[in-house]
Structure 1
Amino acid sequence: MKKITGFVIGAVVLLTGCANWNHPTATQYDFQRDQAQCNQFASQASPRTQTPYNPYLTPMQQAQKSQYEGGANLGAAFGQMGAFNNCMQAKGYYK
């Protein structure tokens, strides 16, 4: 489940970063700097969840914990995507 969640989060972030952002006056350097700043802001605004392994949980409890974390991380990925888009728009970029 963690591999699938990581793949989904990576795909969302990659697709967000690959969108065609336009700006009337920004250079390629400006775009890369702004994109890096917005990526950092987005990852801090919606952090991912992962609790340490607990050997005392039964296999069913471990599976439930993994499913919960997967859902929470998927929600965080969408939160990061929204925060990134808002940040880029605040800097004057549009799609």
Structure 2
Amino acid sequence: MGRGLGRAATDVGHDAQSPHTEDEVHVVTAGRAKIETPGRTDEVGPGAVIFVPAGEEHRFTEVAEVLVLLMVFGPAYGSRSPKSSRSGAESAYVAKCSIRRS
């Protein structure tokens, strides 16, 4: 399993990432944006949990506030070859939950 912390500034412009060979889970800890996948567009903000299956096109757009993401990749990032990703096996989805700050 891989993990990371990502940030996208409001002036990010075009998110040019290409599909990854691993499943991804992003947890939005701060900021607001939209995530676009082939079948849908969702608004995301603090508390959003985003699942993107391996091989699915996706990008963040309309970043209205600096977007801070906790990212988890499975298996570890870069460990699968592009031929072994499961493109099309599942669809991306967004779940909303609350983040409590103490």
For the aligned pair, the TM-score class normalised by the smaller chain equals under 0.3
**What TM-score do you get using the length of structure 2 for normalisation?**
0.24
Q: Which has the higher helix share?
A: 1
Greater RCO (CA < 8 Å, at least 6 residues apart): 1
Task: Choose 1 or 2 for highest CA Rg.
Answer: 1
